A and B are shown apart, each in its own frame.
Chain A
């Protein structure tokens, strides 16, 4: 694999980031279609450590190619997706996972939206109950001249 001049320039550019937007297109000898789908799915969930805003599936960085190859080999050896992820995390840290695992540190990330939702839902319930009661007691408070009712309830 003697790199030609083009490849040298190509890689040099790559190292300086952002200049190359070529897709990683590498046909691999998958055992079957299911494995190909599994490979596509898995590599799309992993972040390339070099070109940091691309998935391993899309990145053309040399390290992404090597890692894709490694993942492919591990799949042929019958390793599970979790084992492959563990392998990568042990070397490149959780950074490579686009799907951050639930730990004490990422608790806020995964359950924060639920907390916000519950808080918001509580506020909405209070408003609805208050306004509902208002409907029973006080008929039409402040805005009598609301100019929008033109016989067409829309």
Chain B
């Protein structure tokens, strides 16, 4: 029996590796699950992209659910995500808030002029400080925030039609079911 111990130990490892291979086909290795999920979104107060004199705070957006989409003109994957937002955005049933991350406003505006603007509202975080409170570490990232200001869902990386259909829309449906 003792002599079989190494074999069983090794088989345990094999199971773990098999699990690892499977897990990595299901999960993005670069995505770090956010500890903010199902917690109130952090407070923020950021200028609008097109009217920098006006600011938007978390309180201003309470009462209606919205999808906060972190993007930047320097981010190549955002370009891939953009057509998806344009196509799917209006059908989501929530406001689409663009969060321009670490970007020069002029660059962002040029980029939006070129690619189109699917957002209902655009806010700008040029220094990127507020983004830290959201746990943002790259772009694109998307947060689904409900009417009470709670983060219900987060996606790291570009939204694809697949992600929208399989993850985002069910999350929105679940959220809407709760609030009559």
Question: A residues bordering B, Cβ < 8 Å?
Answer: 1-3, 7-8, 11-12, 15-17, 49-50, 52, 61-63, 66-67, 70, 89-93, 95
Name A12's contact: one of B32, B76, B137 (CB within 8 Å).
B76
Q: Which of A7, A11, A93 contacts B32 (CB 8 A)?
A: A93
Interface of B is mostly: loop
Q: Are B35 and A52 in contact (CB under 8 A)?
A: no
CB-contacts of B30-70 with A (<8 A) = 30, 32-36
B104 CB-CB contact with A under 8 Å: yes
Is A49 a contact of B76 with CB atoms below 8 Å? no
- One digit per residue, 1 when the CB lies within 8 angstroms of any chain A CB and 0 when it does not, for chain B 129-161 equals 101111111110000000000000000000000
Given A7-B74, A12-B74, A66-B129, 8 other A-B residues pairs in contact with their CB atoms under 8 A: A15-B138, A15-B139, A52-B29, A63-B128, A63-B137, A66-B102, A91-B132, A91-B135
Shortest beta-carbon distance from A82 to chain B in Å = 17
Say whether B76 contacts A93, CB under 8 Å: no
Report the bound CA distance from A66 to B128 in whole Å.
7
| Minimum distance in angstroms from B75 CB to a CB of chain A | 6
Q: A90-B35, A93-B34, A95-B32 are in contact. Are A3 and B74 (CB under 8 A)?
A: yes
5 A-B pairs in the complex with CB atoms less than 8 angstroms apart: A8-B73, A52-B29, A66-B102, A91-B135, A92-B32
Residues of B within 8 A of A91 (CB): 35-36, 132-135
Q: How distant is the Cα of A95 from the Cα of B104 in the complex, in angstroms?
A: 30
Given the complex of chains A and B, what is the CA–CA distance between A15 and B72 in angstroms?
A: 12
Check if A50 sits within 8 Å of B33, measured CB to CB.
no
Cross-chain contact B32 with A49 (CB below 8 angstroms): yes
User: Are B75 and A15 interface neighbours, CB within 8 A?
Assistant: yes
A70 to B30, CA, bound (A): 23
With beta carbons under 8 angstroms apart, the residue of B29, B33, B74, B76 that contacts A16 is B76
Residue numbers of B with Cβ under 8 A of A are: 29-30, 32-36, 73-77, 102, 104, 106-107, 126-129, 131-139
Minimal Cβ-Cβ distance residue in B for A65? B128
Q: Point out which of B34, B134, B136, B137 has the most chain A C-beta atoms below 10 A from its C-beta.
A: B137
Which residue of chain B lies nearest to A67 when distances are taken between CB atoms in the complex?
A: B132
CB <8 Å contact, B75 and A12: yes
- Residues from chain A with a CB closer than 8 A to the CB of B76 are 12, 15-16
What distance in Å separates the Cβ of B33 from its nearest Cβ neighbour in chain A? 7
Query: B137–A8 contact, CB under 8 A?
Result: no
Query: Residue B33 contacts which of A12, A61, A93 (CB distance < 8 angstroms)?
Result: A93
Q: What chain B residues lie within 8 Å of A70 (beta carbons)? A: 129, 132
Closest to A95 in B: B32
B175 to chain A, nearest CB (A): 23
Assuming A3-B104, A15-B75, is B128 touching A93 (CB within 8 A)?
A: no
**How distant is the Cα of A90 from the Cα of B77 in the complex, in angstroms?**
27
| A-chain residues with CB within 8 Å of residue B127 when the two chains form the complex | 66
> Could you tell me the distance between the alpha carbons of A95 and B34 in the complex, rounded to whole angstroms?
10
Q: Smallest CB–CB gap between A1 and chain B, Å?
A: 7
Cβ of B128: which chain A residues have Cβ within 8 Å of it?
62-63, 66
Could you say which of A12, A49, A70, A95 has the most chain B C-beta atoms within 10 Å of its C-beta? A49
